[in-house]
Amino acid sequence: MLGFAGSSTAANIYAFGGRDLAVPSAVPSGATLSRYTFSPAEVCGQSQCEISLVFLYNKGSIWESNVTGPDMETNVPGVSVRLFFDGKPVTSNFTGTFSRIAELQLFRNGGPIASGAFSSGSFDSYYIISYKTGMISSRDSSIRLSGKVTAIDGTCEVPDQNVKLPPVSSGQLHGIGATAADTPFNLSVTGCPRGFNRVGYTILPAGGSVPDGSGTLPLLPESTATGASIRVVDASGTPPKFGASLPVTAYSKDTGGSYQIPMRASYVQTAGKVTGGSVHAAIVVLLDYQ
């Protein structure tokens, strides 16, 4: 019986698929600019990969000495890259199994961001991943970056605002989950520059976590009422999914501008007994860009 050992290239992953990644030029150092995910099957053709060796190449040049990582510069100024297997940062010392999800993150390093295209030729791999295919055999997959970064000067803003609900009596709330004093308001997203492929907004409840899907906000410490809080919903009456990025659908890449997102707020009963007093709650709105 003859045994043979060796390696061959199995797959090339072209992360970001040639997309134009529009990013704000003024984001702080360390801010994540974009994410790209892929599965074990895309690396090794199986539901689980047994990684034996990883080579990392700064700026994607395999002619350079491999580096330890996990953070590496790309060839686009101001933009660096890091890779995670199942949530663990990938360095040149990484070994073990990978069975759930891989995430490649682009983030701003300490330098200024400039527009530019990623090098993705035959010798422009950022990662070469060796995985076992048998007792003594292995194959390699490479990860390259495909696409370009367009630096956009400026970002959108969400001005602070106060939404005042009219006073109600406890008798207007008739049981847990009952609402009163439905009040329309708008989330304002202003001063957006043109050029982004997408502007997204994420709503977070201030003051703590809440049951997912309820739209009910936690009371702030200055509240004096008990058994009631504030509930927010979108224009269709659906509670927002807290923590999820939603698109500013009216945003125009060609013109930029300012936009209004219709919302509604109301009192909501949260306990069997409601006692009178003031009700204060708040949301935090975060913006993201692609």
**Per-residue model confidence as pLDDT tens digits over 146-162:** 999 999 999 999 999 99
The full DSSP string for 114-132 is: --EEPP-STT--SEEEEEE
Average pLDDT over residues 127-154: 89
- pLDDT band at residue 40 using 50, 70 and 90 as cut-offs: very high
- Pick from 67, 7, 13, 59: which is nearest to 38 by CA? 13
- pLDDT of residue 4 exceeding 70, the answer is no
3-state secondary structure of 220: coil
- pLDDT of residue 13 exceeding 80, the answer is yes
Residues 283, 37, 69, 286, Cα dihedral to 10°: -10
pLDDT at 210: 77
Average pLDDT over residues 119-144: 85
Between 272 and 211, where is the model more confident? 272
Q: Kindly report the CA angle at 12 between 9 and 16, in degrees rounded to 5?
A: 165
Calpha distance 265→271 (Å, rounded): 18
Calpha distance 109→5 (Å, rounded): 40
Calpha distance 287→225 (Å, rounded): 32
pLDDT at 8: 42
Calpha distance 122→142 (Å, rounded): 10
- pLDDT of residue 133 exceeding 70, the answer is yes
pLDDT at 10: 53
CA distances from 97 to 47, 86, 144, 261 (A): 10, 9, 21, 45
pLDDT at 7: 40
- pLDDT of residue 6 exceeding 70, the answer is no
**Per-residue model confidence as pLDDT tens digits over 55-83:** 999 999 888 888 999 999 999 999 999 99
- pLDDT band at residue 223 using 50, 70 and 90 as cut-offs: very high
**Per-residue model confidence as pLDDT tens digits over 225-259:** 999 999 999 999 999 999 889 999 999 999 999 99
pTM of the model: 0.74
Calpha distance 166→181 (Å, rounded): 6
- Positions of CATH 2.60.40.1090 in the chain: 170-289
- Pick from 33, 30, 27: which is nearest to 149 by CA? 33
pLDDT at 3: 34
Is it true that domain 170-289 has CATH number 2.60.40.1090? yes
pLDDT at 207: 84
Q: Which two tokens stand for residue 43?
A: 């690396």
pLDDT at 1: 31
Calpha distance 58→73 (Å, rounded): 6
The topology (CATH level 3) of 9-152 is Immunoglobulin-like (2.60.40)
Q: What percent of the chain has pLDDT over 70?
A: 96
The long-range contacts involving 251-255, CB below 8 angstroms and separated by at least 24 positions, are 251/189, 251/192, 251/196, 251/198, 251/199, 252/194, 253/194, 253/195, 253/196, 253/197, 254/194, 255/194
**Per-residue model confidence as pLDDT tens digits over 167-210:** 998 889 889 998 999 999 999 999 999 999 999 999 999 987 77
